[in-house]
Amino acid sequence: MTSGAYDMNIRIGYGMVIVSGICCIYYNVILAWTLYFFGMSFQSEVPWKSCNNDWNTEWCVQRGGENSTFNESITELTVENVTKKLVTPAEEFWEFNVLEISKGIEHPGSVRWQLVLCLAGAWVITFLCLCKGVKSSGKVVYVTATLPYLMLTILLIRGALLPGAIDGVIFYLKPDFNRLADFKVWVEACLQIFYSVGVAWGGLITMASFNRFHHNCYRDALMIPLINCGTSFYAGFVVFSIIGFMAKEANLPVDKVITSGPGLVFVAYPEAISRLPMSPIWAVLFFLMLLTIGLDTQFGMMETLSTGLIESGGKYLMKKRMLCTAGICIVLMLLGLPCITNGGVYVFQVLDWYSAAVPVAVLALSECLVISYVYGAERLYGDIEMMIGYRPTSLWKYCWYTVTPLLLVICLITSLVLYKPPKYGDYEYPLWATNMGWCLAALPLIPLPVVMIYGILTTKGTLRERIAHLKKPTDVWERARKKTQNVDEMEEDNSNELMEIKS
């Protein structure tokens, strides 16, 4: 992101700060769950391996391994005239030990003190990594960005040696062309890329603002999505080799053991790990990898939030950066407490369902339209050329003008048309919960018209003059542009003088 475009995106950035702030609240809950599993893995046997624990019920069934009690022809069991679906030890550990789940969001219950400690631990780690801003997080990221690749490789080697792993990999690589013809699949994939790469979340813009003026932002714009997609593709082999092993153990097709969301990370994968020899070691490695990956994501969102809040407060808050960061972490931790009650997972799902889809797509569309039609694609080309020394291919211009906005509009409309309220298993949310979700979705979008109207009202001149003034970069960027132009002119004059001396 160039500095001139960054100045224009400050007007959209308030929405990005809000959406990152909402996501920070519930994303650290994921890290709290991860820390809980990580701590529980330091035992002679992982506690989600068998049905012989205090939290297990009559409907618990162990599938795979020597002690398997699973019968693929029986999916339900009746006990004392009550018929329920059979569940695995990993599912019961997740719901009855980790979450101590209630019947619904309207039954919040009490706060889980074990998860409070884990949530506090997650926020302490986040604070220690961000207390000095990008200086501290930049050093920590050397570990958190490289360690997951080592862990993934270890888990891939172990998974590849398991029976049935090849079936999972084949399922992963072999496309289902019937599903590819489903338009909704492509829309979901597009939205997932937005979440994965971090487009319109503000993290990329925030990190780019710390770069030097002549940093090669064009190279970064190519490398980030390539590395992101490559990592996801590589991680797919790790996941599906284990899923293939699970399917082989349970004597089921691969697609019958696939799940998504928290269920994959905290139920399906731990269940597979429990069947491995020396399962606690593999559980520790897996959840350590998950923790480092999660911290990387949390860093980006927290840096966006803290930078936006602290720098908007002027030099005074910037001098108190460490104290401000600590305050932000404490406030967000308190706001995350409803997610670790007995009904917390329902609150978590509402936050994730509504805050990470529609508002992000609207912000991305607004950003693209502002850059292309308000700030001007040609002006952006000039900024990039001034920073990196050459002009990018014109293909980008056509993407900014037409392709990207069109795709975003299609994704946005499709998401709204195909919208379905969230469900957790068979539980359906009450109307007030979904209304609360839509209010959360609208919250990051409020600054768009508010900041625009405020800017027009507080700028001097006629309406046309005010709009023309607001379309320009800030004075800081204009001074940087002129300074760079003067340096280039001086270098050109010196070069010409040197040529005259040589001749």
143-189 tens-digit pLDDT: 777 888 888 899 899 889 888 889 989 988 887 777 777 777 777 77
Measure the CA–CA gap between 294 and 265, rounded to whole angstroms: 12
pLDDT tier, 425 (very low <50, low <70, confident <90, very high otherwise): confident
Per residue in 242-275, pLDDT tens?
888 888 877 778 877 766 667 678 888 888 888 8
Tell which residue, 360, 15, 402, has the closest CA to residue 193: 360
Q: So what's the pLDDT on residue 430?
A: 92
Sort residue 252 into left (φ over 0), alpha (ψ -120 to 50) or beta: beta
Binding site residue list for Na(+):
196, 228, 296
The better pLDDT of the pair 472, 292 is held by 292
State which amino acid sits at residue 365. L
Q: So what's the pLDDT on residue 481?
A: 65
Alpha-carbon separation of residue 343 from 105, 305, 445 (angstroms): 5, 27, 28
Q: What is the mean pLDDT of residues 104-121?
A: 92
Tell which residue, 339, 348, 342, 334, has the closest CA to residue 429: 348
**Percent with pLDDT over 70 in the chain:** 84
Q: Report yes or no on 13 lying in a domain.
A: yes
Q: Is pLDDT above 50 for 498?
A: no
Burial (CB < 10 A; 0-12, 13-18, 19+), residue 297, is: buried
Per residue in 269-322, pLDDT tens?
888 888 888 889 999 999 998 898 888 888 888 888 888 888 777 677 778 888
Q: What is the mean pLDDT of residues 197-221?
A: 80
CB 56 within 8 A of CB 238: no
Tell which residue, 13, 32, 303, has the closest CA to residue 141: 303
Q: Which residues pair with 85 in a beta bridge?
A: 76
Radius of gyration of the chain (CA): 26
- Helix 377-388 / helix 217-250 crossing angle, nearest 10 deg: 100
Binding site residue list:
196, 228, 296
Q: What is the mean pLDDT of residues 488-503?
A: 43
Q: Report yes or no on 269 lying in a domain.
A: yes
Residues near 356 by beta carbon (within 8 Å), at least 6 away in sequence: 19, 23, 195
Is the four-CA dihedral 82, 83, 89, 91 of positive or negative sign?
negative
Q: Is pLDDT above 70 for 127?
A: yes
Alpha-carbon separation of residue 71 from 52, 64, 85, 245, 382 (angstroms): 18, 10, 13, 17, 67
The better pLDDT of the pair 208, 3 is held by 208
Mean pLDDT is lowest, of 14-23, 244-253, 345-354, 388-397, for 244-253
Measure the CA–CA gap between 88 and 49, rounded to whole angstroms: 9
Q: Is pLDDT above 80 for 138?
A: no
Tell which residue, 77, 82, 75, 74, has the closest CA to residue 59: 77
Q: Report yes or no on 70 lying in a domain.
A: no
CB 75 within 8 A of CB 250: no
Per residue in 23-70, pLDDT tens?
899 999 999 999 999 999 998 889 998 888 888 888 888 765 555 555
Q: So what's the pLDDT on residue 384?
A: 85
User: What is the pLDDT of the chain when averaged over all its residues?
Assistant: 81
Q: So what's the pLDDT on residue 66?
A: 52
Q: So what's the pLDDT on residue 435?
A: 92
Q: So what's the pLDDT on residue 4?
A: 43
Q: So what's the pLDDT on residue 114?
A: 92
Q: Report yes or no on 162 lying in a domain.
A: yes
CA angle 355, 357, 359 (to 5 degrees): 65
**Percent with pLDDT over 90 in the chain:** 18
Q: Report yes or no on 83 lying in a domain.
A: no
Q: So what's the pLDDT on residue 494?
A: 42
How many CB atoms within 10 Å of residue 226?
A: 9
Per residue in 440-453, pLDDT tens?
989 988 888 888 88
Instruction: Output the six-digit token pair for 19.
Output: 């959406």
Q: Report yes or no on 464 lying in a domain.
A: no
Alpha-carbon separation of residue 454 from 231, 447, 459 (angstroms): 42, 10, 9
Q: Give the pTM.
A: 0.84
Tell which residue, 275, 278, 274, 271, has the closest CA to residue 257: 271
Q: Report yes or no on 376 lying in a domain.
A: yes
Name the E strands within 73-211: 76-79, 82-85
Q: Report yes or no on 497 lying in a domain.
A: no
Q: Which residues pair with 83 in a beta bridge?
A: 78
Q: Is pLDDT above 50 for 491?
A: no
CB 289 within 8 A of CB 231: no
Tell me, what CATH number does 170's domain have? 1.20.1740
Q: So what's the pLDDT on residue 86?
A: 78
Overall domain count for the chain = 1
Owning domain of residue 160: 3-47+99-450
